[in-house]
Structure 1
Amino acid sequence: MHIQTAAVHTLRDFEHGAVVPPVHLASTFELDRASEEGEYAYQRGANPTRAQLETVLAALEGAAHGFAFASGMAATAAALSTLQVGDEVLLPASVYGGTYRFVDLVLPGRGVTGRFVDDLGALTDEDFTPATRAVFVETPANPTLRITDLRRIVELAHRHGALVIVDNTFMTPVLQRPLELGADLVVQSATKYLAGHSDLLAGAVTTDDDELAAALALAQKAQGGVLAPQDSFRLIQSLKTLPLRLERQQANAEEIVAHLREREDVRQVWYPGSHSAEEARIHASQATGRGAVLSFELAPALDRTRFLQALRYPAYAVSLGGVESLICRPATMTHEAMTPEARAHAGISEELLRLSVGIEDARDLLADLDQALEAAAR
């Protein structure tokens, strides 16, 4: 079954011939009075609507197990909660700011160490210690769009008994399938492309490993950061259009990248594979597209504030993946939790802008960028 068909038809045969699933709002479920057992007992542990969503998430990722959480950070925290006291996790220096905050401020209190690496692609056996139990990968990285060779990281990490956790938010299972490349856990901020309308907070984790699945189920029940039934239903519905939305968003992004690269008033444009021919080759070998997020810097003579104020269509806001275009300044928005030194170390300049491209008509977006660039030059 192709992914667009799976997005629509994974769930079938509902009561009364309904073509969409029901929403089960119950917080508690009656148990058998003799055995005291039942498929469901309390919503935090499991809920029929959330279970249906998790079935779809697993199907889209080609995974054995899927788990839905209340936010992308709740999903990331659950994945990292599989680590134990004394463990170490390796991460890219440019990792998403929320992940950086969690690893930098929360994990040490749990006895887990995070080590931020300049370039995961340059990892060698010497970078692993007996404490290294996981490598957390973003490819493309946020917001630098750097690419990491997943096959190489998987082989290297597994040789040292470490898990590979991949944040696949930018690519989604439509464009990249890390589990098929050997990753152990895939996390996504479902708030972004999976939900796709900037009106829903959610997170997802998928895995093929039964033991990790048991640990994630425990994290749901013990930590309680689960997705509510109404939001689970809404995400099921949104997922049905994910491949279609992403196809349009990516086509728009390709046009914008090509256009901005032709303008002398744009100093640099970053897009997956743009950093080197080798990164382009790696990305093409592990993904089927480059997504719909790009980053760029204006030429020094332009006024960034005037440029942002002149834009009509992209909202100046955090997040990404919605049907509407969004633009942000990572240094003060998505990655503000990092110190200036950490951002510089990660290659996130004060002038870097990140654009998440929506489904608008590309001609309108291009015209808007052009007039904003002209306004910034006055």
Structure 2
Amino acid sequence: MERGLNTRCLHLEETEGKTEHYGALSYPIYQTATYAHPGAGKSTGYDYSRLQNPTREHLEKTVASLEGGIDAFALSTGMAAITLLMEIFEPGDHMIAEADLYGGSIRFFDNVSKKNHYEFTYLNCSKDDIEGAIKGNTKAIYIETPTNPMMNVSDIAAISRIAKKHNLLLIVDNTFLSPYFQNPLKLGADIVIHSGTKFLGGHNDTLAGFIVTNSDEIKEKLRFLIKTTGAGLSPFDSWLILRGMKTLGIRMEKSQENAIRIANWLKEQHIVKKVYYPGLPEHPGYEIIKRQARGFGSMITFDVDTKEHAWKIIESVRMIKFAESLGGVETLITYPTTQTHADVPDEVRIQNGITPCTLRLSIGIEDIEDLLAELSYVFHLPE
């Protein structure tokens, strides 16, 4: 019987009953670059920390357990994870990608991957015809669900059936829901991506990225590539993510509880024109996310009536911070036009629904009364 998610955030079954590391409950930070060998042709199991490090290995096994994968790869940032993943493809390969991706992913695909002669077709994968975009050189479908920042929800299992029919890889960025709320591999995905900086770390104090897979072939390719390209996560940062993950479940539950209250509050404000939150029954992806996930998350995007109101809100917050990140214990507000999606061309940004009136909230674990009081103050300042 598989153990619960909160238990797996804390314990690896393979280490139970052992008294290694002097019984330390906090997994040790093996802050070493290299390892001494007992003799020629002999190894302790670790040779050089670019290849592997005990702290990073423990983290990778924990993340793989949470996602239901056979292996995970911890990288220095989320973008480092995407960079490494793209190395499994060849020049001339074509990918279908979600149009409403995180702006940094689009920037990478359009300025680095295309330079390396990869082709991309961007679609709204929650409603556009994916199968009609498949070509002879198509190798993968790359999605986020929910998307960043417009919260579009794609049916992972349905897209997986398309991918398998055409012998394509399905890659899912699972950052917004984390493995606590959603497990794409169990729905038919081949690869899962995370910015570990966000919910997995949860404290806005380190950067990290993850790739998780349930394919032996992909595992072997990535294990070779991570030691060859050298962007593996450092021992100390691995420890910070391990520490953060111990409270993943209770953070996700509290943040979601706050988010549902705030999403409904936003709907009642006269300057708010639309709220994008998949936990609202009127959201077009509500039934899909109920079917494929265990929760709705704590990310909310909303449109106000004017750019001036948007700017007034971000310049007036006090406890809520105007900052470019998400998934931490603190509530943050982001202005996608000049922050997360600043490098996305204006026409593409507008087509995806991101306007100068669009704001994004990452809801934290503060007391809901304090969050609502701050928002009420900010929204009702005199003109």
Gaps of 5+ in 2: none
Task: Identify which range, 110-119 or 360-369, moves more after superposition.
Answer: 110-119
CA distance in 1, matches of 2:285, 2:240: 36
Contact 1:79/1:185 (CA < 8 Å) preserved in 2?
no
CA distance in 2, matches of 1:304, 1:59: 41
Give how far 1:275 is off: 9.2
Contact 1:94/1:348 (CA < 8 Å) preserved in 2?
no
Task: Identify which range, 114-123 or 227-236, moves more after superposition.
Answer: 114-123
TM-score by length of 1: 0.96
Q: For residue 29 of structure 2, what is the aligned residue in structure 1?
A: 23
CA distances 1:69-94 after superposition (whole Å, capped 9, x unpaired): 00011112222221111111111111
Change over 3 Å in CA distance of 1:107–1:203 after alignment to 2: same
Q: Does 1:9 align with 2:15?
A: no
Alignment of 1:1-378 (within 5 A): 1-10=3-12, 11-12=15-16, 13=18, 14-35=20-41, 37-272=43-278, 278-300=284-306, 303-375=309-381, 377-378=382-383
Gaps of 5+ in 1: none
Contact 2:95/2:121 (CA < 8 Å) preserved in 1?
yes
CA distance in 2, matches of 1:303, 1:35: 67
Contact 1:93/1:345 (CA < 8 Å) preserved in 2?
no
Give how far 1:36 is off: 5.1
Contact 2:125/2:143 (CA < 8 Å) preserved in 1?
no
1:319 match: secondary structure? coil
1:188 match: secondary structure? strand
CA distance in 2, matches of 1:348, 1:265: 17
Q: Name the % identity.
A: 36
Give how far 1:330 is off: 0.5
CA distances 1:209-268 after superposition (whole Å, capped 9, x unpaired): 011111211221111111000111111111110001111000000000011111222111
CA distance in 2, matches of 1:302, 1:264: 15
Q: In structure 2, give the amino acid aligned to 1:49.
A: T
CA distances 1:340-360 after superposition (whole Å, capped 9, x unpaired): 011012221121000000000
CA distance in 1, matches of 2:144, 2:281: 15
Q: In structure 2, give the amino acid aligned to 1:161.
A: N
CA distance in 1, matches of 2:43, 2:117: 37
1:173 match: secondary structure? helix
Q: In structure 2, give the amino acid aligned to 1:289.
A: G
Contact 2:96/2:140 (CA < 8 Å) preserved in 1?
yes
2:8 match: secondary structure? helix
Contact 1:188/1:205 (CA < 8 Å) preserved in 2?
yes
2:380 match: secondary structure? helix
1:122 match: secondary structure? coil
CA distances 1:319-375 after superposition (whole Å, capped 9, x unpaired): 100000000111110011101011012221121000000000011111111110111
Q: In structure 1, give the amino acid aligned to 2:11.
A: H
Q: In structure 2, give the amino acid aligned to 1:66.
A: A
Root-mean-square deviation over aligned CA pairs: 1.6
Task: Identify which range, 11-20 or 284-293, moves more after superposition.
Answer: 11-20
Change over 3 Å in CA distance of 1:49–1:324 after alignment to 2: same
Count of residue correspondences: 377
Give how far 1:301 is off: 8.9
1:109 match: secondary structure? coil
CA distance in 1, matches of 2:124, 2:188: 23
Give how far 1:191 is off: 0.1
Q: In structure 2, give the amino acid aligned to 1:298.
A: V
1:272 match: secondary structure? coil
Q: In structure 2, give the amino acid aligned to 1:63.
A: G
Give how far 1:33 is off: 2.8
CA distances 1:267-294 after superposition (whole Å, capped 9, x unpaired): 1111126596652111111011110000
CA distance in 2, matches of 1:274, 1:135: 27
Contact 1:146/1:273 (CA < 8 Å) preserved in 2?
no
CA distances 1:12-67 after superposition (whole Å, capped 9, x unpaired): 43332221221111101123433254511111111111111111111111211111
CA distance in 2, matches of 1:367, 1:189: 31
2:197 match: secondary structure? coil
TM-score by length of 2: 0.95
CA distances 1:145-194 after superposition (whole Å, capped 9, x unpaired): 00101011110011111100000000001100000001000000000000
